A and B are shown apart, each in its own frame.
Chain A
């Protein structure tokens, strides 16, 4: 019974423990958010592969260590897209220094009209740290499907607009999907729930 752990083993154990504490990572599968929806048990958005406005390939793993918040939209959207991006910029500010780890990612659902140049200018008008991603029509459809994002073209005169899911999807810094923020929430409410995600990892 009295098999004593060697001093080394004990030390290793302690250092591992403290590493875990330092990183502040908590593997709890459920989180309780005040406003948003807990998506911790959902497996979504793990394998998208799109391009950023510089033409670089981006995947979820490209954002390791950051807290990615993904929103789908299109630049000709007059209402929910600018409002949600403005809200994200405001929430980032409200989070103070923690906000530096929030990486807002705008994925266009309209790659036919949203050129990389336009996307770049558009997202950076809200916050210079925001990124925009795009893919081919097929890649866009596959990515939306992966997130359970609905979108559909609505003809409007000689042009079209899009109906689409307006949820913002938040991952923790290890790439686990955590939180869904509905378009109806305020910047303050989003900031509070985003800080809850940060407490976990």
Chain B
């Protein structure tokens, strides 16, 4: 009896702890393929791009970075080949759906930069995401700076992409 129970308890304990770990992971918003466009000297603004996936219906409220005095979330839209940009208050992150922040849609504007962002620099970003219950989550990301001439999502240099993180 004892010899039968002991491994069972172990299994149960292991199962519970795995469940706990899984829960912890699922409660987080996943950030993939984050990058920032490098700038030339004197260029006061740049953009940050990434893919976000929240496990429950959430929204991205804000982004902060020590490299920029002002960070805003913008949405680009194209109509009759006219590119328009609008600041948005937040971006909905529906449960389980990857939301892309790329040069063609939503993106994060880093404005009033404190210094030039050079290719290869690591740019710290702090994202604030709020779930449907109003609980806020802070996510810290170190986004690598890619060359100014990097094409947008879909056209980018695949050699620099981390495929292991792709979903």
A residues at B contact (CB < 8 Å) = 75-80, 82-83, 85-87, 89-90, 113, 115, 117-118, 121-122, 125-126, 150, 154, 156-159, 161-167, 182-184, 186-187
Contact = CB atoms under 8 A, between A and B. Distances in A.
B78 A184 contact: yes
B72 A154 contact: no
Contact of A90 (B74, B147, B148, B151): B151
A78 B149 contact: no
Interface in B48-103: 70, 72, 74, 76, 78, 81-87, 103
A166 B40 contact: no
Interface residues of B, number: 34
Contact of A78 (B70, B109, B147): B109
Contacts of A90: 151
Contacts of A187: 151, 155
B111 A159 contact: yes
5 contacts: A76-B43, A78-B46, A79-B47, A79-B76, A164-B83
A125 B149 contact: yes
A6 B66 CA distance: 82
B109 to A, nearest CB: 6
Contacts of A86: 148-151
Top 6 nearest A-B pairs (CB, nearest first) are A78-B47, A79-B103, A163-B84, A121-B40, A86-B149, A80-B83
Nearest to A151: B82
B134 interface: no
Contacts of A154: 84-86
